[in-house]
Structure 1
């Protein structure tokens, strides 16, 4: 969850603002997937979202920037799941469980969201500005993850281990999604984001000084 939402409930105005941003983000994602960023204009995104062009630029600096809120949704859900982990769980286990849940596709809506992310990552391959948005979202997610990791790790964890764990977990999801986007693998089963992320997390967490916990399982959604 975002820092703002973790301290107080959002006002009606704030909720409306976030809803509008997400509507614009969905419109941008649909057009980018269909026509590529080069074949999409800010005017077309605003028209698809049903807002004025001045409203678009009130929220976003560029057409590529418009998909930022959509790409950040998964990270917000992931941090919330991690923060709600069972007390006393080993940090690697808590991270693995949260990763599996956020990349799971239990229903069609979740599957659609993953496929939309795949379309954006494929479009980003030929668009440096869109790639920059993806990297920025991941960096922000990592920074917001650190206090959650610190809380779960306890007083014995050093600052370096906390940063390494947050970086490893964030990169596990990023690399998994990027790798999956380059293939035609389904949203579940072999080669799915959940399976790939579990593999990445096991390898990357080995570089931290935190207790390893149990071996992470890829979860039901990623088993053959």
Structure 2
């Protein structure tokens, strides 16, 4: 079992700059959507808040709602890395619970602010189908990227269907937890927090999956 994140080629300077610009635009869009809603926000306003030209905005994003995609995807990237780096010998259920709890924890104000920003976006998405579509697309892409990590942790005897179900259960546990938390006034930690809800959702969703019910 690998305990390291998948090895990826280093990004070029151009690619790093591109990603940094995309995240700056994504943060600007999230701030504006949270403050005044998608209907009250234009692509021009997002570009202005991010300090880029409107043509730069449209070079990276087709619509104003698409702009938050990179920001929403960051959480998935972090949690997949945490799962891939699970301690040697950990069973898949234990690894999933640990990675989910750590990914959604709020150990400092920066992490807490990130969760609050996600809450603002999810609340804004309630009345904006295009923004919800971005959220669902990011979750679908995250689930697909999660499958090889789950397969590695599950071991060679895990069937493809089991791996797919496990990846779907883990992804949906986080999605449902964040959506439920966004509808509430619960804090970023403690009862009703994203981490607490996600671990509970995972336990409910993993049900009778053989690959998810094998314990130490």
* Match status 1:107 vs 2:108: yes
**1:28-47 Cα distance to aligned partner (Å, 9 max, x none):** 00000001000000000000
Report the counterpart of residue 150 of structure 2 in structure 1: 149
Distance in 1 separating the partners of 2:198 and 2:214: 17
How far 1:212 sits from its partner (Å)?
Answer: 2.3
- The structural deviation recorded for 1:6 is 3.8
Q: Is the 8 A contact 2:75 2:103 kept in 1?
A: yes
What's 1:159 paired with?
160
Q: Runs of 5+ in structure 2 lacking a partner?
A: 1-5
Contact map agreement 1:103 1:194 (CA 8 A) in 2? yes
The aligned counterpart of 2:27 is: 26
Looking at structure 2, the residues matched to 65 and 211 of structure 1 have their Cα atoms a distance apart, in angstroms, of 34
Q: Distance in 1 between matches of 2:47 and 2:67?
A: 10
The residue number in structure 1 matching 2:140 is 139
Distance 2:209 2:165 in 1: 6
- Superposed CA RMSD in Å reads 1.2
| Superposition deviation, residue 213 in structure 1 | 4.8
- Is the 1:149–1:166 contact (alpha carbons within 8 Å) kept by the matching residues of 2? yes
* Counterpart-to-counterpart distance in 1, 2:94 and 2:14: 38
Give the structure 1 partner of residue 11 of structure 2. Answer: 10
Q: Which residue is equivalent to 1:196?
A: 197
2: CA distance, partners of 1:30 / 1:156 = 46
Give TM-score scaled by structure 2 length: 0.95
TM, length-normalised to structure 1: 0.92
| Shift >3 Å, 4+ stretches | none
Deviation, 1:62, is: 0.3
Secondary structure in 2 matching 1:101: helix
Alignment of 1:34-45 (within 5 A): 34-45=35-46
Could you say which residue in structure 2 is the equivalent of 1:209? Answer: 210
Aligned pair in 2 of structure 1 residues 127, 70: CA closer, same or farther (>3 Å)?
same
Structure 2 vs 1, CA of residues 9 and 133 (structure 1 numbering), >3 Å: closer, same or farther?
same
CA contact under 8 A between 2:123 and 2:183: conserved in structure 1? yes
| Alpha-carbon distance in 2 for matches of 1:7, 1:101 | 23
CA distances 1:86-108 after superposition (whole Å, capped 9, x unpaired): 12110011011000000000000
> How far has the Cα of 1:214 moved from its partner?
5.1
Inter-partner Cα distance in structure 2 for 1:29 and 1:7: 29
Asked if the contact 1:93–1:213 (Cα under 8 Å) also holds between the matched residues in 2, the reply is no
Where do 5+ consecutive residues of structure 1 fail to align? 216-224
Q: How many residues are paired up?
A: 211
Q: Deviations over 1:1-56 (max 9, x none)?
A: xxxx8420111111110000000000000000001000000000000000000000
Q: Counterparts of 2:215 and 2:107 in 1: how far apart (Å)?
A: 24
1:123 aligns with 2:124: yes
Secondary structure of 1:92's counterpart equals helix
Match of 1:68 in 2: 69
